[in-house]
């Protein structure tokens, strides 16, 4: 993987595409970012095969199949993903099927561009896989493209990034270097996000946040994730909740669930937040920067909680605390109502 990081690094796009042998890359984005993606096409000039602007949350297989048809029709020889996790996910899904080279240009703090992980949704369930085929060959981090990210989206996207690093701290296969990256990443975002809320065009704060998100993405790709990511994949893939806001809501509750079983991670987070109860500190931090604090506010129905608990505990996966369906159901109830983390026996552990 090659990373270009800075302010104005997009100027190197044409050179980077040529280095990867791209003569007819397809530019990908969501419908909402089509106008900006058109600017990328302008930069490429004649050296592209146009754009596909239909990327959407949770990488539905049906959308990937539509994009695959465009790739084949235009004989595209590379992929340029402009946007957040939805666009990067689509690029990865195409690369998995074609092995085309990818350039990622992130405009959020999602971190997907740093991982060999792909999550796809089929028949109402989200499934993840790891393959080096989906890891972008180059990521161009250009701070300029994050300046326009609204403060509310910056908050949820930043908390989404922090989730990767927090789970990396207690991952079964963690190591000292990844833990060091995770601590630095979380600290960067804790410092930068309130500044972005106060001054959305603060380039120093935006740079620090993007740096933190880059590190968070590395930790996500390097070690296994646990309960938090499983819950968010369940809520997103099966109930169509928005990706980053769901991470923002669930993270303090998943942390509270695992606190007693993850003393090393808790020690790191106490240093970062300067508080003993790190789950409550994280919950309060989210509220302070304007992130949503309940699953009900995201559109989940209370009648969905039982099915969500069933899906989240249907298959075993690594987590520091043993997964118990009754406790997970209690965790989801707390998250649904936005109670303080640790209120129920389910999250208090």
Nearest alpha-carbon partner for 17 in 143, 142, 141, 140: 140
Q: What is the sign of the dihedral through the CA atoms of 192, 198, 200 and 201?
A: negative
Domains of the chain: residue spans and CATH: 2-146 (3.40.50.1970), 151-348 (1.20.1090.10)
As a whole number of angstroms, the distance between CA 254 and CA 271 comes to: 19
As a whole number of angstroms, the distance between CA 219 and CA 215 comes to: 6
DSSP string computed for 97-166: HH---EEEEESSS--GGG-SEEEEEETTEEEEEE-GGGS-SEEEEEGGGGTTS-HHHHHHHHHHHHHHHH
Q: Are 140 and 102 contacting, i.e. CB atoms less than 8 angstroms apart?
A: no
Q: pLDDT 10s per residue in the chain (349 long)?
A: 899 999 999 999 999 999 999 999 999 999 999 999 999 999 999 999 999 999 999 899 999 999 999 999 999 999 999 999 999 999 999 999 999 999 999 999 999 999 999 999 998 888 889 999 999 999 999 999 999 999 999 999 999 999 999 999 999 999 999 999 999 999 999 999 999 999 999 999 999 999 999 999 999 999 999 999 999 999 998 999 999 999 999 999 999 999 999 999 999 999 999 999 999 999 999 999 999 999 999 999 999 999 999 999 998 889 999 999 999 999 999 999 999 998 775 666 5
Q: Look at phi and psi of residue 200 and say left if phi exceeds 0, alpha if psi is from -120 to 50, else beta.
A: alpha
Q: What is the pLDDT of residue 349?
A: 59
As a whole number of angstroms, the distance between CA 249 and CA 302 comes to: 15
Q: How many beta carbons lie within 10 A of that of residue 11, not counting itself?
A: 12
Tokens 């402009």 appear where? 82
The structure's pTM equals: 0.93
Q: Are 86 and 131 contacting, i.e. CB atoms less than 8 angstroms apart?
A: no
Dihedral angle computed from the Cα positions of residues 333, 338, 343 and 345, in that order, rounded to the nearest 10 degrees:
20
Which structure tokens are listed for 22? 């791209």
As a whole number of angstroms, the distance between CA 113 and CA 92 comes to: 9
For residue 290, what is the enclosing H or E element? none
Q: What values do phi and psi take at 61, rounded to 5? A: -60, -35
Q: What is the pLDDT of residue 72?
A: 98
- What is the three-class DSSP state of 91? helix
- Angstrom CA distances, 343 to 206, 247, 251, 307, stand at 34, 19, 15, 22
Give residue 321's Cα distance to chain centre.
23
Q: What is the pLDDT of residue 345?
A: 57
Nearest alpha-carbon partner for 29 in 12, 1, 48: 48
Q: What is the pLDDT of residue 88?
A: 97
As a whole number of angstroms, the distance between CA 85 and CA 112 comes to: 6
Q: What is the pLDDT of residue 123?
A: 85
- Angstrom CA distances, 306 to 25, 122, 336, 337, stand at 45, 21, 12, 15
């Amino acid at each position: 993987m090659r990373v270009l990081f800075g302010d104005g690094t997009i100027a190197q796009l044409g050179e980077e595409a040529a280095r990867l042998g791209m003569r007819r890359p397809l530019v990908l984005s969501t419908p909402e970012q089509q106008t900006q993606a058109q600017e990328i096409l302008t930069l490429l000039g004649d050296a592209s095969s146009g754009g596909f602007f239909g990327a959407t949350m949770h990488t539905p297989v049906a959308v990937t199949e539509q994009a695959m048809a465009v790739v084949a029709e235009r004989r595209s020889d590379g992929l340029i993903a402009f946007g957040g996790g939805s666009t990067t996910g689509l690029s990865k899904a195409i690369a998995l099927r074609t092995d085309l080279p990818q350039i990622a240009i992130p405009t959020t703090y999602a971190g997907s561009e740093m991982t060999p992980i792909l999550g796809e949704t089929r028949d109402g369930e989200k499934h993840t896989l790891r393959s080096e085929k989906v890891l972008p060959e180059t990521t161009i981090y250009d701070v300029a493209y994050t300046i326009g990210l609204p403060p509310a989206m910056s908050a949820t996207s930043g908390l989404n990034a922090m989730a990767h690093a927090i789970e990396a701290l207690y991952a079964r296969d963690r190591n000292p270097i990844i833990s060091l990256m995770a601590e630095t990443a979380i600290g960067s975002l804790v410092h930068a996000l309130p500044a972005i809320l106060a001054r959305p065009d603060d380039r120093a704060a935006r740079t620090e946040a993007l740096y933190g998100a880059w590190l968070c993405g590395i930790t996500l790709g390097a070690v296994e994730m646990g309960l938090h990511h499983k819950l968010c994949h369940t809520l997103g893939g099966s109930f169509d909740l928005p990706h980053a806001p769901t991470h923002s809501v669930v993270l303090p509750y998943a942390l509270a669930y695992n606190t007693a079983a993850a003393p090393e991670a808790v020690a790191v987070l106490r240093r970062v937040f300067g508080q003993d109860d790190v789950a409550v500190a994280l919950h309060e931090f989210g509220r302070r920067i304007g992130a949503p604090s309940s699953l009900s506010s995201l559109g989940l129905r209370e009648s969905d909680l039982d099915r969500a608990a069933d899906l989240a505990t249907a298959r075993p996966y690594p987590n520091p605390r043993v997964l118990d369906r009754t406790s997970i159901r209690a965790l989801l109830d707390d998250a649904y109502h936005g109670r303080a983390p640790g209120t129920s026996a389910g999250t208090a552990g």
